[in-house]
Structure 1
Amino acid sequence: MSTVDGSRDDYAGHHETEPGDPSNPNHAARRELPLAPPSVKVERLPDPLKELGEPLSIEEARKAYLRTQRASWTSDSRTSKYERHRDHLYPRILAADRHFQSEYEGLTTAMFSRRLSPLDKSGNWLTPWECNEMLHGGSIHRSIREAIDYQLDGFSYEWVAVTAPTQSAGTPHEHVYFWIDDPDDEVTIGYFETGLERHLAHCVNAYQKHHQYRTDGSGGAITVQHSPEVVKEAPDKVHNILEESSPRPNTLGAQYLASQLAHLPVGDVYDGSKENPPEALLEGAALSWASPRNWFRASRGVPSL
Structure 2
Amino acid sequence: MSELSLADAKKATRKAAREQVSKPAYYGPSSETSEPSLSDSTTEETEPADPGRVDHKSRRQTRLAHPSYDVQNLPKPLVECGCGSCPDACDPLYDDRTSFRNFYAQEECPLPQPMTLKRAREAYLVYQVSSYNSDDRTSALERTRVKHGKLLGAERDTFQQFEDVTQIFLSLRLSPIGRSGRWLEPVKLDNRLHDSWGNVRDVLDYHLRDYDSEYVAITATTVSAATPHRHVLVYVDDPDDEVAVEVAQAAVDSHVRNTDGAFAEDHPVEPGERDAGMVLHDPPRADEVSEDTWLYVLDQRGREAFPMTAATMQYVANQRPHWSLAPFCEDGKTGDPQSIKLEGGAIAWATPHNWLTSSRGFKM
Describe the SS at the equivalent of 2:262: coil
Say whether the 8 Å CA contact 2:170–2:278 is kept in structure 1: yes
2:123 corresponds to 1:64: yes
Distance 2:337 2:268 in 1: 27
Tell me the equivalent position of 2:168: 110
1:224 CA displacement = 1.4
8 Å CA contact retained: 2:168, 2:278: yes
- 1:10 paired with 2:69, answer no
Q: Is 2:171 aligned against 1:149? A: no
- Provide closer, same or farther for how the CA distance between residues 287 and 6 of structure 1 changes in structure 2, counting only shifts above 3 A: closer
CA–CA distance in 1 between the matches of 2:27 and 2:307? Answer: 16
Checking the alignment, whether the CA contact within 8 Å between 1:5 and 1:235 is kept in structure 2 is: no
Range 121-130 or range 70-79, more displaced: 121-130
Judging changes above 3 Å, is the alpha-carbon distance between structure 1 residues 224 and 268 closer, same or farther for their aligned structure 2 residues?
A: farther
1:278 Cα deviation after fit:
6.9
Matches within 5 A, 1:287-302: 287-302=347-362
What secondary structure, in the 3-state scheme, does the structure 2 residue paired with 1:176 have? strand
Rg: which structure is higher? 2
Partner Cα distance (1:62, 1:71) in 2: 14
TM-score normalised by length of structure 2? 0.75
Matches of 2:56 and 2:359, distance apart in 1: 36
Higher helix share: 2
Shift of 1:155: 0.7
Q: What is the TM-score when the length of structure 1 is the normalising length?
A: 0.89
- Please report how far the alpha carbon of residue 289 of structure 1 lies from its aligned counterpart in structure 2 after TM superposition: 0.7
Higher relative contact order (CA 8 A, sep 6+): 1
* 1:34 maps to which of 46, 57, 63: 63
Root-mean-square deviation (CA), in Å? 2.3
Q: Which residue of 1 aligns with 2:319?
A: 260
Q: Give, in whole Å, the separation in 2 of the partners of 1:246 and 1:80.
A: 29
Conserved in 2, the CA contact under 8 Å of 1:4 and 1:264? no
In the alignment, the residues of structure 2 paired with residue 278 and residue 161 of structure 1 have an alpha-carbon distance, to the nearest angstrom, of 28
**CA contact 2:132–2:329 (8 Å) conserved in 1:** no
Q: Deviations over 1:46-93 (max 9, x none)?
A: 1100112111111000000011100111111111011101122x1122
**Residue by residue, what CA displacement relative to the aligned partner does 1:173-192 show, whole Å, maximum 9, x if unpaired?**
00011111110011121112
State which of 143, 149, 162 in structure 2 corresponds to 1:91.
149
Deviation of the 1:208 alpha carbon = 0.6
The residue aligned with 1:119 is: 177
Structure 1 pair 278–186 and aligned structure 2 pair: CA distance change class (3 A):
farther
Query: In the alignment, what sits opposite 2:276?
Result: 221
Structure 1 residues 135-186: Cα deviation after superposition (integer angstroms, max 9, x where no partner): 213xx22211111100011111101000001101111000011111110011
Tell me by how many angstroms 1:218 deviates.
Answer: 9.0
Identical aligned pairs, as a percentage? Answer: 35
Assess if the C-alpha contact under 8 Å between 1:167 and 1:278 holds in 2. Answer: no
Q: Is residue 27–residue 323 contact of structure 2 (8 Å, CA) maintained in 1? A: no
> Measured at CA, do residues 284 and 219 of structure 1 come closer, stay the same or move farther in structure 2, by a change above 3 Å?
closer
